[in-house]
Amino acid sequence: MKRFYAFVATLLALVLSVSALSARELNLIPEPSYVDLEAEGDYVVTEKTRITVVDDMWHPAQLFAEDMMEYFGSEKPLRTVKRGDKGIKVRTDIFVPKEGYEMTVTEDSILIIGGSEAGVYYGLQTLRQLIITNDGRVPCGFIADEPNFEYRGAHLDVARHFFSVEDVKRYIDILAAHKLNRLHWHLTDDQGWRIEIKAYPELTEKGSVRKETLIGHGLEPKWWDGKPYGGYYTQDEIREVVAYAADRYITIIPEIEMPGHSQAALHSLPWLGCEEQEVGVWTMWGVTPEVLCAGKQTTYDFLETVLGEVVELFPSELIHIGGDECPKDRWKECEHCQAMIKAQGLANEEELQGYLVARIEQFLISKGKRMIGWDEILDGGVTETATVMSWRGINGGIYAAERGNDVVMTPMNLCYFNFYQTKSREGEGLHIGGYIPFDMVYNWDPYQKMSDEAKAHIIGVQCNMWSEYLKDMETVEVMLLPRLAAMSEVQWATDRRNNDTIRRKMEVMRKFYEACGWHYAPYYFEGRD
């Protein structure tokens, strides 16, 4: 089916390239697989439009009805009913791709058929865009659509700066509107521990608060604001966010960093370190030498206890263990780590990290989960059941895919949305550095330099939002939008991107963002790069 839609879409693109552009363009983000607008007329959606629900598709229908209530400014959502021939009708069909949908629009009705409940939801997101950006008028015609990638992700770091439950829900809403289906939730780091663990209350009592925060980039002289900063999510709040995301067909993947990026945990429980010395929750950015001791059994007991609670909170099959940027200086001097290297017949400290990662992987497997980690987990060797997130470029992802691991491509130079969006940086405020404009994201080929065998293991693409300089959700949104639109085209419509139409589509998308009340960066629309 996907190949058929792609073939038809290619023919349609050729037709459009040699003819005058019609006024009846959909200008959708992400681009559907196939569009036929030969029929004349429109269906006009109003606050009195009814939604007929078949096959128990009540949930996506109700979410859409509530979104329309907000759009129309009405006191009640659109009415959902069991029977009706006119209005909007939603149902499923096994012959439609699982996350795909088909939409047929006449002057009397709109029919959306999904391959699953999620497919119906995505079809309704398309309809929502059309309604909002065309003043309620939906052109008659036919759309067939499905995503390219199984994993369509975005990341949110809440360790450097904390975001409330309502903020995270707002972030989820934005992802859902762009048809993403994964949220990678970075919950722990050197600068803060943000998830309640019942077995170790010290993690949030002590590790969730740092005494102050670095101002500027950390170059000499260094300045701090002198203000305590903290926050964490209770387990009930975690469940609330997980359920909210699941309602919008987004799976949350939690990340518990190990063995590096763990200074907040070391502050809370000093016995986790090699020297058991007192260290504070880190007030700097970057990489600290303070890491978990990989030579003590108590460290593994701790990690398994923490992850044991985490897997009960998150239904996700994948659990992220970090594994990145772990200095080995402490291990080289630690009698426990050196004893573990000798006892396990390991060659060096790199293999010691591999040993720790392998033990944690086996623990997660015992809990019915699979491990995902940054590409450093490859350094010590992992089984083919592990999923690799390639951030240090594309080579780690290619290597992992060629050896049979599933891979999520998220290279820093293309997918770190906390980087600047313009070369001039005028008006952007202070950020971590780097430069990733809209067009660079849009034109990225996640399959570059790969064999066909490797391509089969690229399960998805993810953008990342690290929060060193992102102090509130408004700033997060400005860094996310409009680049998320480019990313969603990479994730959903990889082979259907068109530089001749994207700017026109984005002008329409800007209307959608404004109607939803979301903040976005103006630079792309101003022609600045």
Tokens matching residue 491: 């994730």
Residue 8 above 50 pLDDT?
no
Give domain status of residue 501, yes or no. no
pLDDT single digits (tens) 207-236: 999 999 998 887 677 899 999 999 999 999
Give me 493's structure tokens: 């419509």
**Mean of the pLDDT values across residues 104-120?**
97
306 and 288 co-located in one domain: yes
CA 187, CA 190: separation in Å to the nearest integer?
A: 11
Q: What pLDDT shows up at residue 24?
A: 72
Is residue 383 very low, low, confident or very high in pLDDT (cuts 50, 70, 90)? confident
Q: Say if residue 160 is in the same domain as residue 123.
A: no
Confidence at residue 3, expressed as pLDDT on a 0 to 100 scale: 45
Q: Is residue 316 part of a domain?
A: yes
Contact 96, 160 (CB under 8 A): no
What is the torsion angle, in degrees rounded to the nearest 10, for the CA atoms of residue 275, residue 281, residue 285 and residue 289?
0
> What's the CATH number where 91 sits?
3.30.379.10
Asked if residue 12 belongs to a domain, the reply is yes
- Among candidate residues 145, 166, 192, the one where a domain is terminated: 145
DSSP string computed for 108-155: SEEEEEESSHHHHHHHHHHHHHHHHHTTTEEESEEEEE--S-SEEEEE
Same domain for 125 and 190, yes or no, is no
Count of domains observed in the chain: 2
Average pLDDT, the chain: 94
Q: Per the domain annotation, does 507 fall within a domain?
A: no
For residue 501, count CB atoms less than 10 angstroms from its CB and return exposed for 0-12, middle for 13-18, buried for 19 or more: middle
pLDDT confidence bin for 14, thresholds 50/70/90: very low
In angstroms, the Cα distances linking 270 to 144, 275, 325, 365 are 57, 8, 20, 28
| pLDDT > 70: percent of the chain | 95
Pairing of strands 406-409, 458-463: parallel
| Residue 133 C-alpha from the chain's centroid | 25
Mean pLDDT for 419-441 is 95
Residue 449 lies in a domain: yes
Is residue 329 part of the annotated active site? The answer reads: no
Give the three-state DSSP class for 73.
Answer: coil
Does residue 13 register a pLDDT over 70? no
Catalytic residue among 25, 150, 240, 325: 325
The CATH number assigned to the domain holding 491 equals 3.20.20.80
CA angle 120, 31, 499 (to 5 degrees): 170
Q: Is residue 516 part of a domain?
A: no
pLDDT(27) > 70: yes
- Rounded CA separation 103/127 (Å): 9
Q: Are residues 113 and 169 in the same domain?
A: no
> Which pLDDT belongs to residue 20?
28
pLDDT tens digit sequence for 240-266: 999 999 999 999 999 999 999 999 999
Query: What pLDDT does residue 4 have?
Result: 44
Residue 25 pLDDT greater than 90, yes or no: no
pLDDT digits (tens, 9 = 90+) for 309-327: 999 999 999 999 999 999 9
113 shares its domain with 158: no
Among this protein's residues, is 325 annotated catalytic?
yes
List the alpha helices (DSSP H) in 481-529.
Answer: 483-492, 502-516
Residues 98 and 160 in one domain: no
Question: For residue 142, is pLDDT > 50?
Answer: yes
Statement to judge: residues 200 and 59 lie in one domain: no
CB 298 within 8 A of CB 225: no
Residue whose structure tokens are 């040993």: 355
Do 414 and 359 lie in a common domain? Answer: yes
State the alpha helices, DSSP H only, in 321-403.
329-333, 335-343, 349-366, 395-402
Lowest-pLDDT choice from 15-24, 132-141, 321-330: 15-24
Nearest 5 degrees, angle CA 44-CA 48-CA 50?
A: 85
Query: Average of pLDDT values for 479-496?
Result: 97
DSSP strand pairing (406-409 vs 387-390): parallel
Q: How confident is the model at residue 155 (pLDDT cuts 50, 70, 90)?
A: very high
Structure tokens at 226: 């002198």
The answer to whether residue 529 sits within a structural domain is no
Query: Is residue 162's pLDDT more than 60?
Result: yes
Query: Residue 59 belongs to what domain range?
Result: 2-145
Q: Is residue 510 part of a domain?
A: no
Both 308 and 244 in one domain: the answer is yes
Domain's final residue, options 145, 165, 189 = 145
197 and 65 inside one domain: no
At 227, the amino acid letter reads K
Q: From the candidates 67, 99, 157, 189, which is the catalytic residue?
A: 189
At residue 216, the pLDDT reads 87
Does residue 67 share a domain with residue 155?
Answer: no
Catalytic residue among 155, 186, 261, 457: 261
Instruction: Give 80-100 pLDDT, tens digit per residue.
Output: 999 988 999 999 999 999 999
Is the pLDDT at 165 greater than 90? The verdict is: yes
- Rounded Cα distance, 290 and 330, in Å: 7
pLDDT at residue 528 tops 50: yes
Residue that finishes a domain, picked among 92, 122, 145: 145
Which is higher by pLDDT, 57 or 11? 57
Residues 99 and 169 in one domain: no
- Beta-sheet pairing, 137-139 with 42-44: antiparallel
